[in-house]
Structures are given as C-alpha cells and as structure tokens.
Amino acid sequence: MKALVVDDSRAMRVLLGRMLQEIGFDVSEASHGREALERLKEIGGIELALVDWNMPEMDGFEFIRAVRSDNAWDNLRLMMVTTECGMEAVMDALKAGADDYIMKPFNKEIIREKLMLLGIEAL
C-alpha cells in the first residue's frame, strides 16, 4: 500500500513516514499541497494521504479541496494530521472531503486505529 505524507516540517514527515512504514506502507513525502498534487500524479496508486493543515504555497485544507474536485482521486483516503483542534476546523476539513482527523501529538497506535476505522488494513 502507498501513502503520502504532506507536511512542511521535515521532522514530522520523517516521524509519520517511519510510523506508516512500520504499519506496512510504502511512503512518499511532500512539503506542501502543490508538491503533494504533483506527487499524486507522478507516483499513482497512492491510497492514503496524511496532511498537515498549516503549510506554505497550498495548505492542507486547499489540498483536500483540490483532491476532492478531481474524480481521479475518489479512492484516496485523506487524513488531516494537525494542531488545529477547534471543532469548527474539524468540521470544515470533513466537509471539504477529509475522511478523518488526527490531533497532534499522536502515536502509531492512534494512526493504526484511525486506519482501521477507515477500513484500511495494514500489517
């Protein structure tokens, strides 16, 4: 299974990438939404994207809206991973097309549980 980690923090991309690899994903990275859209087109077959909210060039909310406006990515599962914790932000992300939402800080087990709720079975 292929996953894309989209975050402007290199440390967070590495951390999330490692967790996803331990769960069984082949992981690619992007540092903002525009780069993530390019990765989706380049790589193909990505089934999951973990997306930060606050990023330069194109934030996570804009990325989710762009992905959901293109039927080519209808099967892509989108999970916001962010410090934005207000209920309004959560609702906005879900309305825009996010499948789920994880608040920082988190651990591998929280990610695994969220994936299971989305019907994604990894290792």
Over the stretch 91-121, which tens digit does the pLDDT of each residue have? 888 999 999 998 888 888 999 999 998 888 7
User: What domains appear along the chain, each with residue ranges and CATH number?
Assistant: 2-116 (3.40.50.2300)
DSSP 3-state assignment of 51? Answer: strand
Distance CA 50, CA 38 (A): 15
pTM score, two decimals?
0.92
User: Confidence class of residue 65 from pLDDT cuts 50, 70 and 90?
Assistant: very high
Residue 58 is given by DSSP the state S
Tokens of 58: 């194109």
Q: How many Cα atoms within 13 Å fall on the side-chain side of residue 57?
A: 11
Instruction: Give the relative orientation of helices 108-117 and 10-23 as an angle to the nearest 10 degrees.
Output: 60
